[in-house]
A and B are shown apart, each in its own frame.
Chain A
Amino acid sequence: MTSDQPTTAGRRLSRRHLLLGGAAAGIGAASAIGIDLAGRSSQPASVAPTAGPAPAAAHGGETVPFFGVHQAGIETPPQAHGTFIALDLRDDVDRAGLIRLMKIFTDDAARLSQGTPALADSEPELGVIPAALTITFGFGPGVFTRAARTQVMPGWVGPLPAFGVDRLEEKWNDGDLLLQIAADDPVTVAHATRMLLKDARSFARVRWTQPGFRRARGSEKPGTTMRNLFGQVDGTVNLEPGTADFEHLVWGGNNPDWMHGGTGFVLRRIEMNLDKWDRLDRPGREASVGRTLDTGAPLTGTVESDEPDFEAKTAIGFPVIPEFSHIRRARTDNPDERIFRRTYNYDEVPTGDRVSDSGLLFASFQADVTKQFVPIQKRLDELDLLNKWITPIGSAVFAIPPGCAADGYIGETLLAG
């Protein structure tokens, strides 16, 4: 994940020192530490001359390469904080406008992700702690319409089919453009969000913003499967970046040529009724999913990675993993019906008599939403005991364009020419 960008690091570092060391000499020591870390992200942090974060544990300087075949923020190990934002394009934005917007977005993301303030960044001191920042862009149906490119819009872009469990609220649905902004530091996410939205202001308005979080960086071993706010180990069975399956099921598919290197994205806002969940005892909680709460092992196994045995029966002849359980229902014999999950918890301010407004930002990447995501959701819609406690209240689908080279911009393969 951590990587230097040889082509730009030196130039950017010099720029950082000039900007922050010279013109803005008044900034604090903490920023100066960040500057050094950002420039030497793969090396041990030097001892800070003054008070600051413990050098050995500081992750603020970590960078994820921005340019490449694929956009960053998909194969990247999920950072601690992720904010999803949908934008609606203003009426006068056409293809030329989209090109201008995506050039600005690309430049902002390329700089900020490397710990360099964006151009015209009015809070440049907030831009020097990348903390593995990634900014990922997606296109909804509106982009294709405005760009007069509907003929190359993948068929799965647009609202998902309606499901019986859905209680969708318009304020969480759809959108023309997606931003996924993720980093291990919430201040970094806030600044990047602010910078991009400022730059989007004359092109689009915010349709919805959904901030999410996982365990803080460093709280547990990297690679630990996350727990949702029900306490469940959530995301055990997942595609693994770098595998042939991932290549095929995330980056492959029969998408139009401009999508090569891109993929499909679904965000489902899934409300989790914690107050109702409180009334369910532990065996009931485990049966609803088919996994134990302590380790996340299937009810037929002892460790999280054990394959569930759906044939195993109890002494009185019932399946150990109930037929109605979440993992039984999500499982399919069709190996193509798999997705890559990159989810975040949400925990908003409750209203009324509720004491929590919590849930899951179920974010998934898959080359073909119709062939991969929809069949899984259909099975869960038909039967999944977990549905008693969870409710999808938002839904959005976006095409994720491929990454770009340093002289290009995200979306170029769709918008140019």
Chain B
Amino acid sequence: MKSFPIPRLLVVTAASVLLLSGCAATAAPASETVEDAPTNTVALTHSEALHIEDAWVKAADDGMSAAFGMLENSGTEPVTLVSVTSAASERIELHETVENDSGAMVMQELPTGFVIPAGGSMELKPGGNHIMLMGLAAPIQAGDEVNFTLTFADGSSRELTAPAKDYSGANEHYEGDMDHSEHTEHGHDDHAESGN
């Protein structure tokens, strides 16, 4: 630790959360440099650690839709997105798309939510993981901005605004009753258009 002050400055400059946490643990006398980097000396909440880019929602007249985007975790701990709510849809689930026993790509709810590893990312995209809107309150028109509230496993939450776009893929048709309280209608072949 002979050269301690120099690496500390470098670390702050590089905003490397991992190394910075190590530095902070040494309880060095506070300098202005460290004080200027306020969020990095304490563990980030999930909502603080998660960056969301390029979010968008598929425009739809009624029924179902889905939201997509890139989730990036800048923190040192895994981030778990456990639920999403929005005035735009009475029910919202977190879905993954997997291959079923017959080889078809089907979607199913991930009750445990989306886990984004520390320093990693997860892309929500048609044919992959997505935020499923089930029971739209009103038509979502192209160019609308849809607001969501994301809640994480640590209890933190954040708002997200995503523009709606027309998109011919991501056709999530359900054969079952839309008002089904138990969501058991996974795995219909209708989903396959978004798979390979």
User: Interface 1/0s, chain B 120-141, versus A by CB < 8 A?
Assistant: 0101011010000000000001
- Provide the residues of chain A in CB contact with B144, threshold 8 Å: 100
- Provide the residues of chain B in CB contact with A97, threshold 8 Å: 143
A19 touches B142 (CB 8 A): no
A107 touches B166 (CB 8 A): no
- How many residues does chain B have at the interface if contact means C-beta atoms less than 8 Å apart? 23
Contact of A199 among B68, B72, B128, B142 (CB under 8 A): B142
- How many residues does chain A have at the interface if contact means C-beta atoms less than 8 Å apart? 21
Min distance, Cβ A203 to any Cβ of chain B, angstroms = 7
Q: Is A202 an interface residue when CB atoms closer than 8 A count as contact?
A: yes
Min distance, Cβ A316 to any Cβ of chain B, angstroms = 68
Q: Is A119 an interface residue when CB atoms closer than 8 A count as contact?
A: yes
- Provide the residues of chain B in CB contact with A201, threshold 8 Å: 166
Whose C-beta in chain A lies nearest to the C-beta of B55? A119
Contact of A104 among B53, B123, B143, B169 (CB under 8 A): B143
Binding site for B on A (CB under 8 A): 11, 15, 18-19, 22-23, 97, 99-101, 103-104, 107, 119-120, 122, 198-199, 201-203
A11 touches B163 (CB 8 A): no
CA distance A119 to B67 in the complex (A): 12
Interface residues of B in 83-141 (CB under 8 A from A): 121, 123, 125-126, 128, 141
**Complex A-B: 14 CB contacts under 8 Å:** A11-B53, A23-B125, A103-B163, A104-B142, A104-B143, A104-B163, A104-B165, A119-B56, A120-B166, A122-B167, A122-B169, A198-B166, A199-B165, A199-B166
Whose C-beta in chain A lies nearest to the C-beta of B141? A100
Min distance, Cβ B32 to any Cβ of chain A, angstroms = 26
Q: Is B70 an interface residue when CB atoms closer than 8 A count as contact?
A: yes
CA distance A71 to B142 in the complex (A): 23
- Provide the residues of chain B in CB contact with A202, threshold 8 Å: 59, 141-142, 166
- Provide the residues of chain A in CB contact with B68, threshold 8 Å: 120
- Provide the residues of chain A in CB contact with B168, threshold 8 Å: 122, 198
Q: Is B154 an interface residue when CB atoms closer than 8 A count as contact?
A: no
- Provide the residues of chain B in CB contact with A120, threshold 8 Å: 56, 58, 68, 165-167
- Provide the residues of chain B in CB contact with A101, threshold 8 Å: 142-143
